[in-house]
């Protein structure tokens, strides 16, 4: 039985076993679990900032240092202390996708002019709330949105979210594609683009930005496809005329499995340089996942270990409803014991406390004998977990802590 791979691929200096005890962000995870109780999300402020700095460094090295702005996609994790820390770091603005997100970002210290807004299916009430935030930059994803915003803000500058009919996502996972074979609700297609531009003219709107976000979780093997996506979006840039900024969305992924090839940021930045470098365009990037996912752990209490037929189950005190990505998107969060010193491991199904068949955290997780353990941790729980949590089965309680 192969065991070590389950422990090698995710360890790094700030998340690793030291003397057999799991440490995260300079703390013993056992102490964190005992102090905070479970279920609790813990986020490393240092790791979040390092992730942002790594993107910036790659862009600098590619010669795009002065020509980019990062917007953190707060839909990934909106924990207020985390947002305030980001504001104070000065490393990024905010990508928001609802009026409540805008209000929350402003409440955490961001100014409206530091927010890039890209949403879908906005109501009249949504538009009128957004119009109160002067300086907020609106990317319209439909002709309906252009019309509604044009009525409220005639003569203003906008972006248009486009759909190149081609998408990208981790390991061909269709659930993570926002554009591609099927026609999706996201952005304006080539077929409607002239009508969209004509609509902007009716309201005197100036289109200065083209925005696209075509999928999530892409890693190095998907970079060729990503380059094709950018190329096809340049059609919109040329067609629109006076474009000053291109927003290439988020979607940068992190490994979830031992076999995942991490995203090579230098190659990623080289794609941007190749496709956009020679044009007089400012580049915007709005990652969520890449910034916070691997900076979060979910600490869980172990409820039981029991064999049923040929399978050993480990039950824990929280279910998929507080971190839905594994169940919804087939993006497993590797369970890791709080202690491990090269002991032999065997396969366990780690399951939650919700009465739903899909409430399985991880199948065949290689874990040591857990009889002396009260806890487990799930890695990669920093994004699209607490922000997507529900109170299903009235088991929606969890705590969150930012480690600084
Ligand atoms: C418009 C837009 N921008 C950015 C993001 C962030 O994506 P990710 O967290 O994969 O980087 C999303 C995610 O859904 C999005 O819809």
Q: Using most ligand atoms within 8 A of CB, pick from 70, 71, 75 the residue to mutate for ligand 1.
A: 75
Q: Is the CB of 291 under 6 A from ligand 1?
A: no
Name the nearest CA neighbour of 181 among 163, 167, 191, 161: 167
Residue 174 pLDDT greater than 90, yes or no? no
Please report the atom of ligand 1 found closest to the CA of residue 252. 11
% of residues, the chain, pLDDT over 90 = 93
Instruction: Pick the residue whose CA is nearest to atom 10 on ligand 1.
Output: 251
- Contact, 315 vs 302, CB < 8 A? yes
pLDDT at 3: 46
Q: Which residues contact 313 (CB under 8 A, 6 or more apart)?
A: 304, 305, 306, 307, 348, 349, 350, 351
Which residue has better confidence, 15 or 179? Answer: 15
pTM of the model: 0.97
| Distance between Cα 167 and ligand 1 center (Å) | 13
pLDDT at 2: 45
Residue 374 pLDDT greater than 80, yes or no? yes
Rounded Cα distance, 204 and 369, in Å: 68
| Distance between Cα 287 and ligand 1 center (Å) | 6
Domain boundaries, the chain: 5-45+294-403, 46-292
CATH of domain 46-292: 3.20.20.10
Rounded Cα distance, 135 and 159, in Å: 13
Q: Is the CB of 95 under 6 A from ligand 1?
A: yes
- Contact, 119 vs 94, CB < 8 A? no
Rounded Cα distance, 159 and 146, in Å: 9
pLDDT at 4: 52
| Distance between Cα 286 and ligand 1 center (Å) | 7
Residue 7 pLDDT greater than 50, yes or no? yes
pLDDT at 349: 98
3-state class (DSSP) for residue 69? strand
Are β-strands 375-378 and 335-337 bridged in parallel, bridged antiparallel, or unpaired? Answer: antiparallel
Q: Is the CB of 70 under 6 A from ligand 1?
A: no
| Distance between Cα 387 and ligand 1 center (Å) | 13
| Distance between Cα 92 and ligand 1 center (Å) | 15
pLDDT at 394: 98
Residue 322 pLDDT greater than 50, yes or no? yes
Q: Is the CB of 288 under 6 A from ligand 1?
A: yes
Residue 13 pLDDT greater than 90, yes or no? yes
Q: Which residues contact 401 (CB under 8 A, 6 or more apart)?
A: 32, 36, 40, 41, 42, 43
Q: Is the CB of 284 under 6 A from ligand 1?
A: no
Q: Is the CB of 213 under 6 A from ligand 1?
A: yes
Q: Which residues contact 125 (CB under 8 A, 6 or more apart)?
A: none
Please report the atom of ligand 1 found closest to the CA of residue 289. 9
pLDDT tens figures, 232-284: 999 999 999 999 999 999 999 999 999 999 999 999 999 999 999 999 999 99
Are β-strands 157-161 and 137-140 bridged in parallel, bridged antiparallel, or unpaired? Answer: parallel
For 197-249, give the DSSP string.
Answer: HHHHHHTT-EEEEEE---BS-B-GGGHHHHHHHHHHHHHHHHHHS---EEE--
User: Confidence class of residue 176 from pLDDT cuts 50, 70 and 90?
Assistant: confident
Residue 401 pLDDT greater than 50, yes or no? yes
- Contact, 94 vs 84, CB < 8 A? no
- Superfamily, domain 5-45+294-403: Lyase, Ornithine Decarboxylase; Chain A, domain 1 (2.40.37.10)
pLDDT tens figures, 275-321: 999 999 999 999 999 999 999 999 999 999 999 999 999 999 999 99
Q: What share of the chain is helix, strand, coil (3-state, %, to 5)?
A: 35, 25, 40
- Contact, 395 vs 318, CB < 8 A? yes
User: Confidence class of residue 1 from pLDDT cuts 50, 70 and 90?
Assistant: very low
Number of H helices and E strands in the chain, helices first, is 12, 19
How far does Cα 209 stand from its chain's mean position? 22
For 106-149, give the DSSP string.
Answer: HHTT--GGGEEEE-SS--HHHHHHHTTSTTPEEEE-SHHHHHHH
């Amino acid at each position: 039985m192969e065991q070590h791979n389950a422990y090698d691929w995710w360890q790094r200096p700030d998340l690793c076993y030291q003397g057999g005890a799991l440490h995260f962000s300079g703390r013993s995870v056992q102490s964190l679990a005992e102090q905070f109780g479970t279920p609790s999300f813990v986020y490393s402020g240092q790791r979040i900032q390092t992730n942002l700095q790594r993107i910036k460094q790659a862009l600098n090295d590619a010669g795009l240092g002065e020509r980019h702005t990062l917007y953190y996609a707060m839909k990934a994790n909106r924990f207020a202390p985390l947002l305030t820390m980001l504001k104070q770091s000065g490393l990024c603005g905010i990508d928001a996708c609802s009026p409540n997100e805008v209000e929350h970002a402003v409440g955490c210290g961001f100014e409206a002019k530091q927010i890039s807004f890209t949403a879908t299916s906005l109501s009249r009430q949504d538009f009128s709330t957004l119009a109160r935030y002067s300086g907020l930059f609106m990317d319209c994803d439909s002709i309906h949105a252009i019309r509604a915003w044009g009525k409220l803000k005639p003569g203003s500058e906008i972006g248009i979210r486009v759909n190149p009919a081609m998408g990208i996502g981790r390991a061909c996972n269709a659930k993570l594609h926002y554009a591609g074979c099927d026609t999706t609700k996201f952005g304006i297609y080539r077929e409607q683009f002239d009508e969209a531009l004509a609509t902007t003219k009716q309201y005197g709107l100036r289109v200065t930005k083209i925005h696209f976000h075509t999928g999530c979780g892409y890693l190095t093997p998907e970079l060729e496809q990503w380059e094709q996506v950018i190329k096809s979006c340049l059609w919109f840039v040329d067609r629109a005329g006076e474009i000053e900024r291109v927003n290439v969305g988020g979607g940068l992924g992190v490994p979830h499995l031992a076999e995942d090839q991490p995203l090579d940021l230098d190659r990623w930045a080289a794609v941007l340089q190749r496709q956009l470098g020679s044009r007089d365009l400012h580049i915007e990037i709005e990652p969520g996942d890449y910034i916070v996912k691997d900076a979060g752990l979910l600490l869980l209490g172990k409820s039981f270990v029991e064999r049923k037929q040929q399978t050993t189950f480990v039950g824990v005190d929280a279910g998929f409803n507080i971190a839905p990505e594994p169940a919804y998107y087939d993006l497993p969060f590797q369970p890791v014991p709080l202690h491990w010193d090269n002991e032999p491991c065997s396969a366990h199904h780690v399951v939650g406390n919700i009465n739903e068949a899909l409430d399985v955290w991880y199948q065949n997780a290689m874990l040591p004998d857990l009889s002396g353990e009260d806890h487990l941790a799930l890695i990669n729980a920093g994004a699209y977990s607490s922000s997507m949590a529900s109170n299903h089965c009235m088991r929606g309680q969890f705590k969150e802590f930012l480690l600084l």
